[in-house]
Structure 1
Amino acid sequence: MKTIGFVGTGAITEAMVQGLLTGPKHVSAIHLSPRNADIAARLAARFDNVTVAADNQAVVDRSNIVVLAIRPQIAEDVIRGLRFRDGQSIVSVVATMERQSLLDWIQADISLVQAIPLPFVADRRGATAVYPPDPEIAALFDALGTAVQCESRKEYDLLAAASAMMSTFFGVMEFTTDWLEKNGLDRSKGRAYIAPLFESLAQRANEGSGHSFHALSEEFATKGGLNEQVLSDFEERGGRAAIVSALDRVFARIEGRSGNAERDGSP
């Protein structure tokens, strides 16, 4: 098992460490940046094989795999100040960061993989987009749920855009619960019904039955039934168009095209 170091100790670092060390351990030791002292101390107290390094350079020096988990605004200053070893494996979870910029700042002959881990990795659930394909790093994220290896930067950016649907997912649940409450149902009962309903639907989609989402939608939309009516209203009143437009805009932002999209009137 490898030794992993985290430069940056925020929410995603905490989730990854919990996922890697809870239950069967998938790494031999983890070294943490001291930057967020509270999170670092909490993880070190919980897990015997977690240590808080004196500084970021000590994290790099002691680790086979280094995870860059820092804010984009400070990424250049932090990374340029570190010395990496040739042959070292680097995983960047820095959002919306250009690959070439990272390589220019690292200035070593390293293996660089970009990834988008989500908070669910703490429970070894969910999927993580990885680019470019890398068996070692894919195995790491498979241990934390499922790794989706992308063959191109565009594939990776598209999945990053899709992950922006998370808040909308919960928003739909909130809108539905609001409607139930407005029509006389106790809010706690609405939540107790809606959350398991959506969880069951997600499980059905994830069963690996080979059914497309469209096929599942048709399965649950009985001809002339209530589900078909809501889906029809959603599409006819612009629901699908709104989602497509939102995804187009967030994809343009990820690719650095947001300014052009606003000027030429495209979504």
Structure 2
Amino acid sequence: MAKMKAIGFVGTGAITEAMVRGLLAEPAYVSEINVAPRNAEIAARLSAQFESVTVAADNQAVVDHSDIVVLAIRPQIAEDVIRELRFRDGQRIVSVVAALERQSLLGWIGADVDLVQAIPLPFVADRQGVTAIYPPDPETAALFDALGTTVQCESRGEYDLLAAASAMMSTFFGIMEFTTDWLEKNGLDRSKGQAYVAPLFASLAQRANEPDVTSFNSLSFEFATKGGLNEQVFLDFEKKGGRQALTSALDRVLARIEGRSN
């Protein structure tokens, strides 16, 4: 795996920690990482564990000593933080800040940089994450391919749609929790329910990711014997508004991402 240039992180939260851990897992993908000192606990933990990690004096020091700068800050403070920084023309900037317009970011940066937006998920820590990026960029795609896989979006519309789809994560775990609650209420020890439900869902996700799968609908039919129990639950879900609720929720999330709602 080829080594990359120095990477810096402005913002030291959960996604920064996940990316750093993934990049420095053996074999390490990068030999130099600079992190901001804002979250002292995470910054200290990473620098203590990895010799390649340096805690910079401040955000500007991260920018000055990095070829690739990852902006990993909260949307609410993004403008204030970014406007204070001096970027170099030609510097590569990867923004993982959610729901920000590209033109706004470029205006705040104020330099002729190569800007790519990305949606990394926590699983990049184990190099198992799938990351959407926009616009397509071979160098940034290679970075996220090292952390799992990359989907390069040809338009902002594609990127926003995948951002909306990523909002399903909590619901996925919520369904697992609802199922475990139901098992417990009907007399099964909670630890046994969790021990059964988690591998069940993991196996289903693994099956969905196999090369022969042409559609998730085909898997739904595969796992729903005519007149069987799986078919019964799926039909109840659809008839009682499950699909409509999910569609409505995704529509609302997309509107929020696109700035069409508050």
Amino acid paired to 2:170: S
1:66 aligns with: 69
TM-score by length of 1: 0.96
Calculate the TM-score normalised by the size of structure 2.
0.97
Residue type of the partner of 1:224?
G
Q: C-alpha distance in 2, partners of 1:174/1:137?
A: 36
- 1:1-267 correspondence to structure 2 within 5 Å: 1-258=4-261
In 2: Cα distance, 1:126 partner to 1:92 partner: 17
For 2:139 and 2:112, locate their aligned partners in 1 and report how far apart those are by CA, in whole Å. Answer: 17
Deviation at 1:126, TM superposition (A): 2.1
Q: How far apart are residue 135 of structure 1 and its match?
A: 0.2
CA distance in 2, matches of 1:256, 1:108: 25
AA aligned to 2:189 is D
| Cα distance per residue 1:54-97 (max 9 Å; x no partner) | 11111111111000011111111111111111110000011111
- Quote the Cα distance in structure 1 between the aligned partners of 2:245 and 2:213: 28
Once superposed, which parts of structure 1, at least 4 consecutive aligned residues long, lie more than 3 Å away?
Answer: none
Whole-Å separation in 2 of the counterparts to 1:142 and 1:52? 25
Say which SS state the counterpart of residue 259 (structure 2) adopts.
Answer: coil
Matched position secondary structure for 1:31: strand
**Mapped partners of 1:28, 1:186: distance in 2:** 47
Query: Mean alpha-carbon deviation: is it higher for 250-259 or for 47-56?
Result: 250-259
Q: Which amino acid aligns with 1:213?
A: F
Report the secondary structure of 1:25's partner residue: coil
Tell me, which stretches of 5 or more residues in structure 1 are unaligned? 260-267
Whole-angstrom distance in 2 between the partners of 1:237 and 1:75: 41
| One-letter code aligned to 1:137 | T
What is the CA-CA distance between 1:146 and the residue it aligns to?
A: 0.7
Aligned residues: 259
Q: Please, which runs of 5 or more residues in structure 2 have no aligned partner?
A: none
Letter in 2 for 1:222: T
Superposed displacement of residue 210, structure 1? 3.2
| Percent identity between the two aligned chains | 80
CA distance in 2, matches of 1:8, 1:73: 13
For the residue of structure 1 that corresponds to 2:73, the secondary structure is: coil
Task: State the one-letter code of the partner of 1:184.
Answer: G
Q: Which residue of 2 aligns with 1:263?
A: none
